[in-house]
Amino acid sequence: MAESTTPPAQIVLAVVLQVRSGRLASLLWQRAREPFAGAWALPGGLLAPDETLEASIRRHLAAKVDVREVAHVEQLGSWSEPGRSPRWEIATAFLGLVPADVDPRLPDDTAWHAVDELPPLAFDHGDIVLAGRERLRGKLSYTNVGFALAPDAFTISELRGLYQAALGHDVSATNLQRVLLRRAVLEPTGARRESGRSGGRPAELYRFRARRLEITDPFAALRPPSR
């Protein structure tokens, strides 16, 4: 049998993650056409001629969510299994992170879904979402990527909630504060969060020193607490 000389289609996909209501969620859209009509899928589409991969995913994301609201974007990997799609496609996926205090306006066919309760997804998109989650979990250990999940200012308790949702296990607020301050990742803002109805001492507000990705400790790991 003669080999096909038709090159594979090149598509880009985005695993956009945000902590919402204490859970890590992924942005998905519902397909209107076959294959997998009605199934949920990652946002993305075909790479256009004379377009870079990152320019392409930013263009496709702009159709679903304001790209300015995505605080960090990085290439996640490529998926090239011949059977991953009814037609021959190579997918390059990107990881995008949205701060917890942003609530993007979404089209009717697009919604957030908790990563630990994903609906059945089209193609191999479920595997790609989980790959994005694992990339995020790894980078929370040795970089300052938490800046892309957090608002501009936050208490340590609020930051702990974001890390717990992303990592999937309990995090000690005291240990998190100690580690991130020792690495010079955080700095105090000089302001405090007013006490709620229950009273108590106003909590100190912090911010990330840099809001771009930096490696802070290449050998670090934020592991679940020992039992």
- What is the CATH classification number for the domain harbouring 99? 3.90.79.10
Give the rounded percent of residues in the chain with a pLDDT score beyond 90: 81
**CB-CB contact of 198 with 186 (8 Å):** no
If one counts the domains in the chain, the total is 2
pLDDT in tens, 57-80: 999 999 888 888 899 999 999 999
pLDDT at residue 67, rounded to an integer: 82
Same domain, 122 and 151: no
Same domain, 80 and 184: no
Same domain, 129 and 166: no
Q: Is there a domain that residue 150 lies in? A: yes
Same domain, 194 and 110: no
Same domain, 87 and 196: no
Residues present in the chain in total: 227
pLDDT in tens, 11-28: 999 999 999 999 999 999
Could you tell me the residue range of the domain that residue 172 belongs to? Answer: 142-208
Q: Is there a domain that residue 216 lies in? A: no
Same domain, 90 and 27: yes
Angle between helices 125-142 and 156-167 (to 10 degrees): 140
Angle between helices 156-167 and 173-182 (to 10 degrees): 100
Same domain, 126 and 24: yes
Asked if residue 223 has pLDDT above 70, the reply is yes
**What is the pTM (predicted TM-score) of this model?**
0.93
Q: Is there a domain that residue 202 lies in? A: yes
Q: Is there a domain that residue 219 lies in? A: no
Query: Which residue(s) pair with 114 in the sheet?
Result: 25
Same domain, 63 and 90: yes
Q: How many CB atoms lie within 10 A of CB 191?
A: 12
The last residue of a domain, from among 79, 101, 135: 135
Same domain, 157 and 202: yes
